[in-house]
Structure 1
Amino acid sequence: MTIKEAIQKLEHFCAYQERCHAEVTSKLYDLKMTTEEMDQIIVHLIQENFLNETRFACSFARGKHRIKHWGKIRITNELKFRQISNANITLALKEISAEEYQNTFDELSERCWHSISEKNTLKKRKKFCDYLLRRGYESNLVYDKLKDFEQNL
């Protein structure tokens, strides 16, 4: 594959959805490009604004929170896994307002608590906490919400 063909393919790849450098590099390896060609293509994608880590991180954080209802811890871990810098992760997390974050957490926890049909209260508490912690919400939020539900019993 020539560099022009690879650039065209990767421009389409990046235009379809926001991508991080790691995804683009992986795609270039799949296309069997040399390291020099990879560098040249990545520089072109950055200059033409097809590839932007900050934009990717912000888009990723907004999407995962609004669509999948992930908490900040899970979003941070996923961005770190994609080799996004701490500065970009901080910017991305600012995309989620405190009010929106709290509302999403409240709705999700309410839905979760009422959907668990476990009779044993200890097991129900564990399932509730495990679910929200797996979603990436902070433990203090989860345990405070659990106390609220138990007071209302």
Structure 2
Amino acid sequence: MQKPFPGKDAALLKLQRYCAYQERCHQEVRSKLIEISVYGDLLEEIMAELISENYLNEERFARSYARGKFRTRSWGRIRIQQELKMRKVSDYCIRKSMEEIDEETYLETLKKIIAKKLAELHEADNFTARQKAAQYAMRKGYESDLIWVIINS
């Protein structure tokens, strides 16, 4: 059974709280509006109002997302870009979000990830251990050329 329509003011208030709690992308907000039975022109009207009141800002979301995932989960640029694309964030915002990741910190984080993985592995064959560490770093979203430069040094 479908929920009853909440009305514009109630829906707007609910979405303002939803966006104030944490940064949201346009797709998440659009899904939330559909979930509470808001469709069509009213959905677009509420989205426009949230954007104009600065509750919703895709570039701010992308920058925050990239910063957070890099710092907390040690994700690489590739993984972050893929996740942002899945959330239908614009290419411009994705490019801007990559500015949040400092190159020096990025390389240091990659070195730590590889060193930690190599220490965990108990492989008799050095080649196999390096291969597994490289695959692990690639799954975290790091560029393969950077990975192999670090592994070989």
Superposition TM-score, scaled by structure 2 size = 0.92
Aligned pair partner of 1:113 in 112, 118, 123: 118
Q: Deviations over 1:55-84 (max 9, x none)?
A: 000000000101100001111111111111
Q: What's the % identity of the aligned pairs?
A: 40
Structure 1 residue 13 displacement after superposition? 0.7
Structure 1 residue 88 displacement after superposition? 0.9
- Corresponding position of 1:78: 83
- Corresponding position of 2:17: 12
Aligned pair partner of 1:134 in 136, 139, 143: 139
Q: Is the 8 A contact 2:26 2:58 kept in 1?
A: yes
Q: CA RMSD in A?
A: 1.1
- AA aligned opposite 1:58: R
Q: Would you say 1:56 and 2:41 are equivalent positions?
A: no
Runs (5+) with no aligned partner, structure 1: 149-153
Quick one: distance in 2 between partners of 1:50 and 1:73? 28
Aligned pair partner of 1:124 in 124, 129, 136: 129
Structure 1 residue 3 displacement after superposition? 1.1
Structure 1 residue 119 displacement after superposition? 2.7
Runs (5+) with no aligned partner, structure 2: 1-5
- Corresponding position of 1:66: 71
Quick one: distance in 1 between partners of 2:131 and 2:47? 46
- Corresponding position of 1:31: 36
